């Protein structure tokens, strides 16, 4: 397939390599001319992956027109809160037959919409043409071609299977799902849980604490998923538990690293400067909380993370508040 990857950051570059290794014709679009030139001339993106050599067939451009011309698959790898504006630029350039695949794990703050909903709304296309790629996919490991699996979620099973076969490689194994809502929600919420785990790590807490946050975080994700009519099994699979464990456990995780800075006492701005790349959970947490409140679902970990990010609570106080909640049965 002819693929356009919109976004030349860490995950956009890693996914473009996967698509290229699978035998597709791939072009990356990015705003940074220096990054684009380096990809084209040196087959590198040293800003995000300094040790990786990209496929020579992989090209890049700063022109949306050039990137989207005749593209059969359009992969979106941009920050969630920039999705709507970027899609508006793209709308007149996308062919009617193109399949859109979101690589973005977030919720729009102003509307509380999942990325697939934003895509359908802005591009005014059939929902069946929109797919999502999610799962335990740390860009730093995938760029090194370490074995991993993912999930292609779509309302149309045939389209999901088309993408599955188009992007499978020797090191990347995609599964399919028809639970678009569950896969997207899990991908967005696990970033918030990784912030919480990072805070605990930054405070010097150990494996018991991390396991507690991961497990109760998964319960929180599943509760909200149930309220949104997601499939419960999604949260015990790659898109749920798999992605949650990877993002909460790995020092490669931007959200966990961001949380660690907060746990060590850094301000929000200091954590942003130290992390350098986008930690989606920071902007997504308030949207998740608003979505949960709209559906009357308790999300205490998310609520605590939002209060820390807003400066209303320290990381240590957040832990104390969570531990002091009323006692109850596990399920």
Q: Catalogue the active-site residues.
A: 190
Q: φ, ψ for residue 301 (rounded to 5)?
A: -70, -45
What are the CA-CA distances from residue 237 to residues 125, 168, 177, 179, 220 (Å)?
Answer: 29, 19, 10, 12, 15
How far apart, in whole angstroms, are the C-alpha atoms of residue 185 and residue 240?
Answer: 9
Contact partners, residue 25, CB within 8 Å, separation at least 6: 1, 2, 3, 57
281 burial type by CB count under 10 A (0-12 exposed, 13-18 middle, 19+ buried):
buried
In DSSP notation, 44-85 reads -BTTTBTT----TT-EEES-HHHHHTT-SEEEE-S-GGGHHH
Residue (of 19, 102, 4, 11) closest to 49 by Cα position: 11
Contact partners, residue 161, CB within 8 Å, separation at least 6: 176
How far apart, in whole angstroms, are the C-alpha atoms of residue 261 and residue 195?
Answer: 10
How far apart, in whole angstroms, are the C-alpha atoms of residue 178 and residue 305?
Answer: 30
Judged by DSSP in three states, 128 sits in: helix
Max Cα–Cα distance, the chain, nearest Å: 60
How far apart, in whole angstroms, are the C-alpha atoms of residue 286 and residue 1?
Answer: 37
Q: CB of 74 within 8 A of CB of 68?
A: yes
Q: φ, ψ for residue 296 (rounded to 5)?
A: 55, 45
Instruction: Please work out, in degrees rounded to the nearest 5, the angle formed at the alpha carbon of residue 123 by the alpha carbons of 122 and 124.
Output: 90
Q: How many helices (H) and strands (E) does the chain have?
A: 15, 8
């Amino acid at each position: 397939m002819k693929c356009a990857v919109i976004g030349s950051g860490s995950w956009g570059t890693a996914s473009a390599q996967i698509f290229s290794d699978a035998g597709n014709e791939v072009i990356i679009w990015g705003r940074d001319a220096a990054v684009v030139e380096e990809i084209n001339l040196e087959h590198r993106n040293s800003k995000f992956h300094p040790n990786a050599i990209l496929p020579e067939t992989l090209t890049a451009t700063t022109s949306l027109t050039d990137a989207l011309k005749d593209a059969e698959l359009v992969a979106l790898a941009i920050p969630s809160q920039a999705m709507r504006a970027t899609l508006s630029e793209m709308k007149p350039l996308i062919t009617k037959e193109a399949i859109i695949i979101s690589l973005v794990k977030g919720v729009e703050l102003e509307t509380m919409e999942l990325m697939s909903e934003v895509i359908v709304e802005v591009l005014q296309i059939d929902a069946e043409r929109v797919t999502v790629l999610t799962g335990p996919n740390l860009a730093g490991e995938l760029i090194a071609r370490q074995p991993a699996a993912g999930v292609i979620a779509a309302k149309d099973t045939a389209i999901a299977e088309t993408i599955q076969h188009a992007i499978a490689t020797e090191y990347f194994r995609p599964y399919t799902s028809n639970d678009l809502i569950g896969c997207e929600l899990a991908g967005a919420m696990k970033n918030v849980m990784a912030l919480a785990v990072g805070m605990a790590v930054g405070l010097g807490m150990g494996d018991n604490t991390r396991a507690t946050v991961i497990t109760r975080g998964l319960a929180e994700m599943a509760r909200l998923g149930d309220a949104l009519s997601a499939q419960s099994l999604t949260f015990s699979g790659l898109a749920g538990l798999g992605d949650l464990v990877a993002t909460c456990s790995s020092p490669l995780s931007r959200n966990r690293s961001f949380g660690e800075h907060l746990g060590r006492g850094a301000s929000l701005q200091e954590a942003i400067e130290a992390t350098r790349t986008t930690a989606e959970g920071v902007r997504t947490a308030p949207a998740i909380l608003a979505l949960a409140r709209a559906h009357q679902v308790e999300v205490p970990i998310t609520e605590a993370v939002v209060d820390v990010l807003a400066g209303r609570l320290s990381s240590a106080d957040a832990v104390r508040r969570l531990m002091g909640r009323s006692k109850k049965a596990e399920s």
